Chain A
């Protein structure tokens, strides 16, 4: 079995894993990182989105062995010193979640969206989040939340908490 070394949310892990184990199952079943949920088995829903070296990936579509030597950030690794990330705050402020199952993936995908475009329009946000499905909100408040977080993150004082 291959041995991998991966940083997850600030801690380093070394594990032997079966080559076929999905990253999301490694996170959930081996590391107990259950904050990242699984919503489908065809990489359509995006609930399992995490950042790998700062770029969003659907962790159901990545093998654990592919994360070897990489830095993975899940929703559990956001924020600094007990404060929430601006994106987490914005989702709360704008009522951008109801059941919350899609929320970890939606937040991670939104952070990546702002990495590429710091000031996206409503249409750019809608297109950018096309790979993340939500069944509760109708997306309008998610769009608002991303706009709000974008505004906050463009202010210098907030930049340092971005992953």
Chain B
């Protein structure tokens, strides 16, 4: 960053709670969701999906369906086997990783319920869906593989027979002498936690529209990753990259689920090529729950060794991570993003992490908000509360004895990361104040004393996470298939208005507003004069898209650098016009002036006009201020914070109600506090939902029983509390804006805070764990059993009575 010292003196936009410019079209319905776009002649696609978790396809008869009125064509997987290629996995985590072929439409075998088997193309969606019923498929059922631990046993039924095993890989990280740490340790905690399977549930179902234009194709998709998708579609289909344009129009949320290359996207492209007409597919929620990739799904075996005073000696982590039936774009790498986070904010000398990826006959897993870090944070923050209970210490105090002091940064952790900055003390102090911790502890004691049927528990989560994905070199060292840079371009139009082109691809995050704020400050132009363009590879040719809380910490820096280059170019023109040396010019509030002669000056708009006419430019200077920049971070960024949850638990019904929730987050410098608070709220909702409500449940035959929003419990307004939020601000030192990223923090922090609160309420009853989601039934059972595994000891695959297997289904989480 060159302009910090002499750039605009007063930041007017950055830091201001600017209302979003995105909203005008969204609140009036003037939206451009993919499903809203229907060019003349568009044909509609419907997919026939496997009703079996695992089966051989012995015959597909599409001929009756072809006769259905309005049907243009019907194709099975074998009809396009030669041209459909295989869906990509860009993260080969070990050299010997087992990586099965993944056809976009199944050809010979289906391996999860919902896998596409055939498709109908018709003149409207009703005709396409009608004709599905007339496709005749013969299946020869094969054994479902639904339990990870069983799947690894000797002689287990195999998901992919040809692989000879259900294990995809085992990945290991070790640092320090863990054996020494465990040997004679005064305190050793061994725990087994289950991260249940979740369904991301973006409100906009997936949709894809492919429009052929001669030999070229424009593919509109509800995706987070137009740039990556374009490259991957070219790779899969052999259509040259420069003949493909991918557009992510308005996209209604993603949370990782649209960081994917889906079979339906490939098929839509192939159909448009075959038929020469626009082809559209829009998913129903019920098929989406079966086929959008799922998240989490880990079994965690944890061993923590500590001194009698609570100081941690070492941590051993042994994970099983459910891959589902296939490896999708970054499936195998997701649990490994947690490898660097199980140590949390704490100091320890020894750490061992082992993760095995396991195939099952379920929907593939992949990134879901937090992606590996929520799982890790849950484990360590649950363990810290367990350690406090074991030692009869306050959970805040046991953390204080272990966390990295604010004076110790930069700090190299036992997991090999360098945390650049942080202040856990300040965030915790602020949270304790907002929460009124002591008063709630007194209230808890009073309820215990009087044996109140509604007990109160207090849960703590002092978290950090790694985001701003990512330094390309680090990704390379992890064998990831791409880099982690981001690109931005700034165009100054003749009228002085500004167009910003970003490689990030927002789908609800508010980049159009925040990027305009950054630009307005750097160039000294009005906020309203900046337009942000994104999400179309023809407009924004270069980018790595939006996920992993990376857009501001990587893309925002690229934008800031591009703005600085514009100012540098403008300075040369200004010096010429003002007949002064460049070094004698001040730039402030969008105006260059000669130092000491403030009345002599040119605005950036005047310079843009001069560059446009090019009548009077210095010799050899290009007539343009336009600039671009690509930024590759040197380190991740590390947001942190302290979340406190007080939960009321009705010991008679098992019902949990969040009584108070305080989130103090340190996301570094803030561009727009309104947007940051919104991101925290939404993140909290999803993290709390994992703790209390959501679970993708499969039965023993591998059928997903939570295919609808009646069964998979996305919380409503009535299910969530009012949040109390606060911030501390410790700037990141790894980027010139001092920003860290906020997209995932709330989700990562909140799940353990809630479960810790529930367990805290129930400790007097002998309960030391409740399996997630902590439904009334599970809490009630934990109370009755006293041992408190609350459902995780249920028979495999059984579904207890309840709403469709979702609400409190005892056997879901194993």
Chain A positions near chain B (C-beta within 8 angstroms): 18, 20-21, 25, 28-29, 33-42, 44-45, 47, 74-76, 78-79, 84, 88, 91-93, 95, 97-104, 107, 122, 125-127, 129-143
Contacts and interface: CB of A to CB of B under 8 A. Distances in A.
Contact of B27 (A29, A34, A41, A97): A97
Given A29-B124, A98-B253, A101-B252, A142 B717 contact: yes
Interface in B197-220: 201-205
B252 A100 contact: yes
Interface string B104-140: 0000000000000000000011100000000000000
B714 interface: yes
B285 A40 contact: yes
Contact of B29 (A21, A74, A140): A74
A100 B26 contact: yes
B509 A98 contact: yes
Given A40-B708, A100-B22, A136-B203, 19 more contacts: A21-B126, A34-B29, A34-B31, A37-B252, A38-B205, A40-B709, A75-B27, A75-B29, A99-B508, A100-B27, A101-B204, A126-B716, A130-B716, A135-B255, A136-B508, A137-B682, A138-B684, A139-B716, A140-B720
Given A37-B35, A102-B203, A126-B717, A135 B682 contact: yes
Interface of B: 19-20, 22-24, 26-31, 33, 35-36, 124-126, 201-205, 250-253, 255, 282, 284-286, 507-510, 674-675, 677-679, 681-686, 708-710, 714, 716-718, 720, 722-723
Contacts of B508: 98-100, 136
Given A129-B717, A135-B714, A136-B253, A35 B30 contact: yes
B24 A99 contact: no
B44 to A, nearest CB: 10
A98 B717 contact: no
B205 A127 contact: no
Contacts of B202: 99, 101, 135
B252 A99 contact: yes
A42 B678 contact: no
A141 B677 CA distance: 10
Contacts of B682: 98, 135-138
Contacts of A101: 33, 202-204, 252-253
Contact of B716 (A18, A40, A122, A133): A133
A39 B285 contact: yes
Nearest to A35: B29
Contacts of B26: 97, 100, 103
B722 A140 contact: yes
Nearest to B32: A34
Contacts of A127: 717-718
Nearest to A40: B285
B654 to A, nearest CB: 21
Given A45-B285, A137-B682, A140-B723, A78 B28 contact: yes
Contacts of A137: 678, 681-682, 685
